[in-house]
Structure formats: C-alpha cells, structure tokens
Structure 1
Amino acid sequence: MAKATLTISSKNYSSWSLRGWLLCKMSGLDFDEMPVNPDDENARQELLLLSPTVRVPRLVHGDIQVWDVQAIAGYLNETFPEACMYPADRVARAHCRAISGEMHAGFHNLRSALPMNLKARHDNFKIFSGARPDVARICEIWTECLDAYGGPFLFGPPTLADAMYAPVCTRFRTYAVRLEPRLEAYIDTVLDWAPMKEWIAAALAEPEEIEELDVEF
C-alpha cells in the first residue's frame, strides 16, 4: 500500500488537525504531512468556525480517503489493532467512545471562548460565563476517568480520548485556567507526551501566516 498522507492546517491554531495527527502517530502509521494554506476556504472554516465536519484533517492511505477525526480513529483502529488506541476492556472502551464523542460533538462555547493558540499566554484571561459549564464538564470527565482507571492518561495508557482532549489541555494552559492539582498533573502528562512535544515544537516554529482570527469571545 502506498505511503499515507495527512492533510492538516495550522499546527498553532488547528485543534482538529492536532487530533488527527496524534491518532496517526498513535497507530504507528507511516505518513507524510500535507499542510494546506491557511487562506484556503476549508482551512478558514476549520479555524474560524471550529468545525469538526470540514475535510481537514484528511487521511489518504492507498485508495482509502477518510476525513472527520472520529472516522480517522475508526479506520486506524481497524487497520492497526495492535496499537491499542481504544481500551482493551469492553466497559472502558464504551466509556472512551462516549467521552470522545462528547468532545467531538459538543463544548462549542469553550471552543469559541478559548481558541487554540499554542504561541499565546494569557495569565489573567476572563472566561465568559457561557463557557464555564463546558470547563466544569471537562473537569468532571477527567476526574471520573482518573478515578476509574488510575491515570496517568484518561484510561491508563494513551487512547483516542487523550487525542480528543489534548487540544483542551493546550487551551487550559494558554488561558491559565486554574484546576485542581490532579487535573493539572494530567495536563502535564499530555503536554509531556512525546508526540505532543513534537507537535508543539513545530507549532512554535510555524510562520505567522494568519494575521488575525476573527473569533468572537
């Protein structure tokens, strides 16, 4: 089978590209990155509307084309089952799918209020009231998982769920969202994860191609 390619947008701003890229890394897939211009209409939709439904990231593997992060996860799990991207236990696996789906479909207020920007730091950022329930729900999810499965990742070893929540970890650090020590430790675990460190280093080296994101706070 031909070498895979993963089409991604900005590493600094694109949360969905990060999720797809992490899944490819977790699976062990040999792939090349294919960046799209941030002025591309679909890339702008992904960045400005924060939508998981546009075709970035997009994985091409031989004659297979898959977009949407959940679809990419499903394909990679079928193709590389030995990568254990989902928990082995049936109950934990169902739980992982549920919280991953919740991130995929929800938290719209948090997405718009705290857009991903790995280069930025806001030590006194005020989160608007509409996003606070999203923050609280994410903290609840993380606490439940760490209680049930013991950490250091949400289900013990890294899984789909950690790839889905990794951009949230960066957002919480960018905007100095205060959490209890156990959840801060989870964020440290994710940010110290080898593929995350690789992505963040590339994001920090990325040229400033997007002058301004017209996101409503």
Structure 2
Amino acid sequence: MDFTDQRLSYEKGTLDQQSVPASPFELLKSWVNEATDQQVKEPYAMSLATCGADQKPSVRIVLMREITDKGVVFYTNYDSAKGQDIAENPNAEVLFFWHELERQIRISGHVAKIDADKSAQYFQKRPHDSQVGAWVSQPQSGVVASRALMEDKFEQLQNQYPQGEKVPTPAFWGGYEITINEIEFWQGRANRVHDRIVYSHDADSNDWTTKRLLP
C-alpha cells in the first residue's frame, strides 16, 4: 500500500508564543476542554510510551483521568508490561492527537504511583463489570490459553461479586501520576510549517520557560 500521494493541509488554527499563558496547565486544560466541546471522541485518550531496562520502547493507549497541579493521572495494572517498564525506568511520554482540531500535545515527565486511597476511591467509581474485569486481567499482558478461560473467570467473579456488592480494589491496580517536566503544544499549519511551542520546567525556580521549535 502506497500513501505517498495522500495529503491534508492543516489550516484550522495558529499558536503564537507571545500569547500563550505563563503556565502550561492553563493551555492544557483549555485545549482539552475545547476538544471536549468539539465532541472529539475520548479526547482524554493518550498514547503512553515507556522504556524498561531492556531499552526497548513500548507504546499503547491509556486514558487520562485527571489533570493535577503537577501533571496527569492514569490508572492501570501495576503488574502490566507498562507497570514493569515504569518500575525499571520511571520516565515516560504521552501524546494526545486530536485530528479534528489539527492539534497534538506531547508530555514528558517522571512517573510515580499515586496514593492507594485515591486509587481505591477511583476504582469504586468504575462500573461494576469493569471492576470485575480488572481482576480477570491479572497479570495484565500475561499469556492466556484461550478467550474461553477469560470469560469463565469473568463469570466466576460476577457470581462471587454480584451487582450491588462491593468488588475489592486489587492491590495490583491503581493510578500513576506523570509529573510534567516538558510539554509541547503542536498546532498544524499549512505547508507543513506547523506551530510548535514547548514549555520546560525549572525545578529550582519552579518557573516555566517557552521556546518555539522548528516544524
């Protein structure tokens, strides 16, 4: 398959370094809100890239569940491949891409587990069957002989924890927070001369600086 003749011209917006806010969190929230208002499907979906001790990068989609005053939060199985990567190398990047707005946000930072009580509070807010599903996925990324075995385990757990009964929060499941060190806002422009503004955090002064990158 050859896609070399496929072209789109990005012309929906601009991004001016002189007019961006001092803190990237204001712009991050603004862009997420705009994506939500424009009814982008799952605007909180982000590609998470990790790299463990084997030096092999790995990427997958996860769902951002919170923007904090330091970064972004997502939830997963701690024993998953991504969890093992993070345990070995607690640095990661995430990428949002909203085609409808011709925008990307790229976040780089340090990853750490959030408080267990906060994870438990979120877990209990999930739909009942999603809570059950978390137990089925242990160990996440592990090999399973067949889908039938998964479905049998799901049915057993549904019987053990019927609707209306509390499903315990697994010790192997919870949230991670990516504390942002650098965040890039990308606005598509015509002729591939895109706008790229990157914020970098100075840990000593707690200030953010911005610079424009070549496209």
Q: TM-score range by the shorter chain?
A: under 0.3
State the TM-score, normalizing by the size of structure 1. 0.23
Report the TM-score, using the length of structure 2 for normalisation.
0.23
Structure with the largest fraction of helix: 1
